[in-house]
Amino acid sequence: MKRLLLYSAVVSASLGLSVGAWAVSDPPPTADDQAQIEFLKRHWQTPIPLQGRPPAHFSPMEASLDAEGCAVCHRAQYEDWGSSLHSKSMGPGVRGQTMELIHDDPKTALRCYGCHAPLTEQQEKSVDTGSRPSIFKRHRTFLASPPGVPPNEADAALKLKRNHAFSASLQQKGLACAGCHVRGHQRFGPPKRDGSLENAAPAAQLPHGGAIRTAAFERAEFCKGCHQFERDGYALNGKLLENTYNEWKEGPYAQDGKTCQSCHMPERRHLWRGIHDPEMVKHGVSVHLALDKARYQVGEQVRAEITLANTGVGHHFPTYVTPKIVIRWELVDADGKRVNESMQEERIGREVTLDLTQELFDTRIAPGKSHAVRYARTIDRTGLTLRASVVVVPDDFYIQFFEAVLPKAKTHEAKALLEQAIREGRARSFSLFTQSVVIS
Ligand code: HEC
Ligand code: HEC
Ligand code: HEC
Ligand code: HEC
Ligand code: HEC
């Protein structure tokens, strides 16, 4: 439990949902930029306040916060979203932890929900408004206590109460349509494809009264609150634990106007493919195997090199501490058996200890950069094949973490969920590259 809580505390520190966008070196923001950033600050206050009572003229379908309600009219987005990880953000690994946290340490559980199930309607408990001076204050205090540090006074003073609007089925849907698009039953969305901000007809004639459109939906800052720790958030070796937005901002894509949406929502599709998707990874990374000779005599040394290049990932490859890329070499004899001691493995990624107190190494690859791994062995017989492979383990950290916390789970249900998460995590590994070359 201690480990689990330490991890929890660390992760929760990020939840400032900060969406500010300017570095000192940037040109000054325009009035439009400023208005969009202000919009995003309001939009991403988490937990997202209760939607309240829907307008009287809304049909039950328009009033529903459920993705299935939206699906009736927005089928394409619904199907894409259903295949994405945003629809699985309350999967077994998260639930296996939050279902106990919500009783043992409810404030931390609410912080997890801030990114994984952000509507108040998705949360068992809510902040007692009487204990909270203002929405803005809540945003600044409740969510801002640094990692490992006990909650500050304002945090401690906050009272939680049972949330009568809680829906368990809505919670299971994770980050669904309403989390990004609905506030106070009003729909918000991007400009029309032609750039215009008007609705197709007067609001009164449209389902759910049309939508308020803003270019804020097309900005990287829209994604920032959940995919970037705050400046004073948890860091190891001087680097924030979650730093995707900054990596993007400092890289070549931000300058070229390629946002998170350009790569993760092409044609506005709601796919959000990432490290779990072999095609997405193959698009972003190239792998090249080189040998110094075509054939080797017995007694000679085979020298080989694999180069992994980040040719199309908008941030470090991989960006988080959780995935690993494993480069594996081995020599195989004429019977297909591995030659003793010929196996060599190297891991690419940012490896941290399970309690997140130490960074062991950081070999992630920045945009436009590459990383080479070498192999050398003396050939001791004929008929050898060199086999080289690159395997992606998207949930490497989580698998180990769940294995470590499993014995501490108190209920059968939490245990079963963590076991399921371990199984699913293992099944998500895939091969990015394999090549076998006959060398002697
Ligand atoms: C009864 C049908 C219906 C339902 C249900 C519905 N919508 Fe819509 N929605 C529409 C129509 C029609 C428009 C287009 C309005 C226009 O052209 O100005 C629209 C527009 C939007 C827009 C603006 C972007 C765009 O495509 O014009 C967003 C965002 C949106 N809806 C989100 C949602 C979400 C989220 C839900 C569920 C919580 C939902 N809608 C439920 C019919 C519906
Ligand atoms: C993680 C946040 C997020 C979630 C979850 C989400 N959307 Fe969106 N949605 C966006 C963003 C961002 C855009 C604008 C993308 C762009 O402009 O490149 C968008 C665009 C849209 C549009 C306009 C599409 C167009 O072609 O103009 C509609 C309609 C829409 N979303 C409906 C939905 C529905 C329905 C769901 C649930 C099934 C959903 N969204 C879930 C973030 C989200
Ligand atoms: C409210 C918080 C929130 C917002 C806003 C958000 N995300 Fe996410 N995103 C998450 C969470 C949580 C996950 C992890 C889901 C899981 O696997 O449990 C995730 C997963 C992803 C993944 C999948 C990564 C993988 O491991 O394969 C991608 C890609 C992604 N988000 C991109 C985006 C982009 C682009 C935007 C902005 C348009 C965005 N997200 C906005 C919370 C958010
Ligand atoms: C700042 C937003 C944020 C907060 C707060 C947050 N997470 Fe996440 N979480 C993410 C993102 C983004 C991912 C996907 C990237 C990754 O794999 O690290 C993720 C992935 C995960 C995963 C692995 C994917 C899965 O569905 O199994 C688990 C488990 C998880 N989080 C648990 C938690 C718990 C428990 C808390 C609270 C202690 C928490 N998270 C708080 C953003 C957040
Ligand atoms: C130039 C295209 C591009 C841009 C821009 C881009 N990404 Fe990615 N992203 C990728 C590719 C390709 C992958 C798959 C390889 C990988 O996981 O690094 C990926 C992976 C991810 C993942 C999976 C987790 C991981 O450890 O890699 C997340 C989360 C993510 N991106 C979020 C974002 C966010 C948030 C932004 C904007 C700040 C963004 N991306 C900008 C191409 C892009």
Distance, in Å, from the CA atom of 64 to the CA atom of 170, rounded to the nearest integer, reads: 10
- What pLDDT shows up at residue 141? 32
Would the CB of 284 count as within 6 Å of ligand 5?
Answer: yes
* Angle (CA) 317 16 94, round 5°: 65
Q: Is the pLDDT of residue 10 over 80?
A: no
Distance, in Å, from the CA atom of 88 to the CA atom of 74, rounded to the nearest integer, reads: 19
- What pLDDT shows up at residue 317? 98
Q: Is the pLDDT of residue 89 over 80?
A: yes
Q: What percent of the chain has pLDDT over 90?
A: 81
What Rg, from alpha-carbon coordinates, does the chain have? 25
Q: Is the pLDDT of residue 424 over 90?
A: yes
Q: Please, which pLDDT band fits residue 23 given cuts at 50, 70 and 90?
A: low
* Angle (CA) 184 186 191, round 5°: 140
Q: Which residues, in sequence order, are CB contacts of 332 under 8 Å at separation 6+?
A: 338, 339, 384, 385, 386, 387, 436
Q: Please, which pLDDT band fits residue 152 given cuts at 50, 70 and 90?
A: low
- What pLDDT shows up at residue 139? 36
In tens, the pLDDT along 353-377 reads 999 999 999 999 999 999 999 999 9
Place of tokens 């075509």: 294
Distance, in Å, from the CA atom of 67 to the CA atom of 76, rounded to the nearest integer, reads: 12
- What pLDDT shows up at residue 350? 98
Q: Tell which atom from ligand 4 comes closest to the C-alpha of 401.
A: 29
Structure tokens at 287: 């792998």
Q: Which of 43, 185, 187 to mutate to test the pocket of ligand 1 (most atoms within 8 A of CB)?
A: 187
Place of tokens 């991989």: 318
CB 172 within 8 A of CB 90: yes
- What pLDDT shows up at residue 16? 37
In tens, the pLDDT along 333-350 reads 999 999 999 999 999 999
- What pLDDT shows up at residue 132? 52
Would the CB of 421 count as within 6 Å of ligand 4?
Answer: yes
CB 77 within 8 A of CB 270: yes
Would the CB of 261 count as within 6 Å of ligand 2?
Answer: yes
- What pLDDT shows up at residue 127? 84
Structure tokens at 378: 């003396």
Q: Please, which pLDDT band fits residue 29 given cuts at 50, 70 and 90?
A: confident
Residue 225 CA from chain centroid, whole number? 11
Would the CB of 46 count as within 6 Å of ligand 4?
Answer: no
Least confident of 142-151, 262-271, 428-437: 142-151
Distance, in Å, from the CA atom of 135 to the CA atom of 103, rounded to the nearest integer, reads: 25
- What pLDDT shows up at residue 158? 80
Would the CB of 376 count as within 6 Å of ligand 1?
Answer: no
Distance, in Å, from the CA atom of 94 to the CA atom of 424, rounded to the nearest integer, reads: 13
Residue with the nearest Cα to atom 39 of ligand 5?
A: 260
Distance, in Å, from the CA atom of 407 to the CA atom of 98, rounded to the nearest integer, reads: 16
Residues with CB under 6 A from ligand 3: 85-86, 88-89, 91, 94, 115-116, 118, 175, 179, 222-223, 225-227, 260-261, 264, 272, 274-276, 394
In tens, the pLDDT along 106-139 reads 989 998 999 999 999 999 999 887 665 443 333 3
Least confident of 139-143, 193-197, 201-205: 139-143
Distance from the alpha carbon of residue 272 to the mean position of ligand 5, in angstroms? 9
- Count the Cβ atoms, other than its own, within 10 Å of residue 280: 18
Structure tokens at 193: 């494809």
Q: Is the pLDDT of residue 153 over 80?
A: no
How many residues appear in the chain?
Answer: 440
Q: Tell which atom from ligand 3 comes closest to the C-alpha of 90.
A: 18
Would the CB of 12 count as within 6 Å of ligand 4?
Answer: yes
Distance from the alpha carbon of residue 430 to the mean position of ligand 5, in angstroms? 18
Q: What is the mean pLDDT of the chain?
A: 90
Distance, in Å, from the CA atom of 433 to the CA atom of 328, rounded to the nearest integer, reads: 10
- What pLDDT shows up at residue 128? 81
Q: Please, which pLDDT band fits residue 2 given cuts at 50, 70 and 90?
A: very low
Distance, in Å, from the CA atom of 191 to the CA atom of 173, rounded to the nearest integer, reads: 26
CB 394 within 8 A of CB 345: no
Distance, in Å, from the CA atom of 21 to the CA atom of 377, rounded to the nearest integer, reads: 50
Q: What domains can you pick out in the chain, each with its CATH number?
A: 2-227 (no CATH), 281-438 (2.60.40.10)
Check: pTM over 0.75? Answer yes or no. yes
Q: Which of 64, 65, 66, 70 to mutate to test the pocket of ligand 1 (most atoms within 8 A of CB)?
A: 70
Distance, in Å, from the CA atom of 333 to the CA atom of 238, rounded to the nearest integer, reads: 46
- What pLDDT shows up at residue 148? 41
Would the CB of 44 count as within 6 Å of ligand 2?
Answer: no
Place of tokens 């690419």: 348
Would the CB of 272 count as within 6 Å of ligand 2?
Answer: no
Distance, in Å, from the CA atom of 87 to the CA atom of 67, rounded to the nearest integer, reads: 10
- What pLDDT shows up at residue 432? 98
- What pLDDT shows up at residue 231? 86
